[in-house]
């Protein structure tokens, strides 16, 4: 991690300044915000079938019999992919697989009061021009999930879908830019796209390393930081230098979403915007906290300058922007192929959060022309997009905060 303390590519920012800003000013506030009622409930359909390959529906454990994987793309080195055989179906293996399935299951506990309120919340939504493949919120399979009861962490699931999902994302949706030599020759837009996906992948991996399943003994699961797992994913020696680039992309993604929040602040600053839950005092306190975060973001001096993106010839820029949007929309569909329910939940939420950030960055003119006292037809955010945007950024903020913790643990183990 010490090798990160340098200026990041494609922007004039340094890691140390971002660490101080995030860990001292943003992380404590974004954590409080995402615990408020408006932001803790997310409506999602976790039963949508994978549109690209048959759902594997399995889990993998350390004692399962596995066969070698066929030769795969160099996009993801040493993938922990597995293939299943009849030898895995012993009684002890079935029990352990069932335990892994339970760890990855969604806690759908909701109070009756919350259920009654959700129908009222739905009246406050409107939408347009999505970067993500949105769930049909009217579907009987869509349900509200309490994010605080379903934290993002390593659940014990090791099925092949995790590898297959990221392999598909990199190979089919990153403009064939996964080789570093090829990446350097790309235009800014395509290079940015790759770095966003890599940064999201890195952030998710940090969450899994920080909340790793350490012990399942005595009927009680224990999660905590796994330094060895972190080193395997990010240490320069372990990853042949790839780890540093992955972490730099995490910071890059953080700056992109930070810039989107800076841009969208005027939307929320209008008196007409109410973070509605039906409790006026709760709603007012939630909006005050959100505006406080926006004020901190405005004071940060090192924002990413998105004006250079899609700034060339109008027709070419429009075509590239649409290609950019469709690639990202396809990635959000791939998240329906994640086998673990909790992983699918957080993958879909963070993908929608990033898609909402991109929608904001590409709607600057519409945001500037927002009327103060009436709804705008040119730019709207649904409640789902707002919840995903702030929780997605909260996950990035948490990743950077957890990086500081891993640095300390790393030093102690030396």
CB 107 within 8 A of CB 150: yes
143 forms bridges with which residues in the sheet?
A: 44
Active-site hit among 13, 59, 64, 343: 343
Sorted by sequence, the CB contacts under 8 Å of residue 338 that are 6+ apart come out as 161, 162, 165, 344, 347
Q: How many CA atoms lie within 13 A of 229 on its CB side?
A: 16
CA distance 151 to 207: 10
Alpha helix positions (H), 240-376: 242-269, 280-299, 314-334, 341-361, 364-368
What is the token pair recorded at 101? 């399935």
Neighbours of 1 (CB within 10 A): 18
Integer CA distances (angstroms), 280 to 122, 212, 286, in order: 17, 38, 10
146 forms bridges with which residues in the sheet?
A: 41
Q: Residues forming the annotated binding site?
A: 153, 155, 166, 198, 201, 233
Active site residue 343: yes
CB 155 within 8 A of CB 340: yes
Q: Residues forming the annotated binding site for FAD?
A: 153, 155, 166, 198, 201, 233
CB 182 within 8 A of CB 123: no
CB 6 within 8 A of CB 15: yes
Neighbours of 247 (CB within 10 A): 24
Helix axes 341-361, 314-334, angle to 10 degrees: 160
Q: What is the DSSP string of 32-56?
A: HHTTSHHHHEEEEE--PPPSSS---
Buried-exposed string 144-161: b where 16+ CB fall within 10 A, e elsewhere: bbbbeebebbbbbbbbbb
CA distance 349 to 207: 14
Q: Please tell me what DSSP assigns to residue 301.
A: S
Active-site hit among 13, 132, 177, 340: 340
Integer CA distances (angstroms), 390 to 9, 26, 83, 245, in order: 25, 12, 37, 25
Active site residue 340: yes
**Which residues are the active-site residues?**
340, 343
């Amino acid at each position: 991690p010490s090798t990160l303390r340098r200026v990041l590519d494609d922007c004039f920012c340094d890691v140390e300044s971002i660490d101080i800003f995030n860990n001292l000013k943003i992380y404590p506030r974004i954590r409080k915000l995402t615990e408020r009622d408006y932001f803790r409930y997310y409506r999602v359909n976790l039963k949508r079938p994978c549109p690209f390959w048959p759902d594997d529906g399995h889990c993998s454990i350390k004692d399962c019999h596995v066969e070698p994987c066929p030769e795969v793309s160099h996009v993801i080195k040493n993938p922990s992919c597995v293939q299943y055989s009849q030898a895995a179906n012993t009684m002890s293996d079935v029990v352990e697989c069932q335990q892994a399935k339970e760890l990855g299951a969604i806690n759908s506990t909701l109070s009756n009061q919350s259920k009654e309120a959700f129908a009222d919340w739905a009246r406050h939504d409107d939408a347009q021009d999505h970067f993500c493949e949105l769930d049909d919120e009217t579907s009987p399979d869509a349900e509200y999930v309490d994010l605080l009861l379903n934290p993002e962490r390593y659940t014990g699931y090791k099925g092949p879908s995790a590898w297959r999902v990221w392999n598909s994302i990199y190979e089919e949706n990153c403009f064939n830019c996964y080789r570093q030599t090829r990446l350097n020759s790309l235009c800014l837009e395509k290079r940015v796209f790759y770095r966003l996906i890599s940064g999201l992948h890195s952030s998710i991996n940090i969450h899994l390393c920080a909340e790793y399943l350490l012990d399942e003994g005595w009927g009680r699961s224990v999660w905590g930081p796994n330094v060895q797992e972190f080193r395997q994913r990010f240490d320069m020696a372990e990853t042949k230098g790839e780890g540093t680039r992955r972490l730099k992309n995490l910071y890059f993604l953080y700056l992109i979403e930070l810039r989107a929040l800076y841009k969208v602040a005027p939307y929320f600053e209008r008196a007409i915007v109410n973070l509605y839950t039906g409790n006026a005092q709760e709603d007012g306190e939630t909006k005050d906290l959100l505006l406080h975060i926006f004020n901190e973001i405005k004071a940060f001096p090192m924002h990413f300058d998105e004006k250079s993106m899609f700034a060339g010839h109008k027709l070419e820029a429009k075509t590239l922007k649409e290609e950019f949007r469709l690639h990202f929309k396809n990635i959000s569909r791939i998240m329906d192929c994640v086998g673990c329910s909790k992983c699918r939940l957080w993958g879909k939420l963070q993908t929608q959060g990033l898609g909402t950030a991109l929608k904001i960055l590409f709607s600057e003119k519409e945001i500037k022309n927002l009327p103060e006292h009436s709804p705008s037809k040119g730019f709207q955010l649904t409640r789902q997009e707002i919840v995903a945007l702030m929780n997605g950024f909260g996950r990035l903020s948490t990743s950077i905060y957890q990086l500081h913790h891993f640095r300390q643990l790393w030093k102690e183990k030396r």
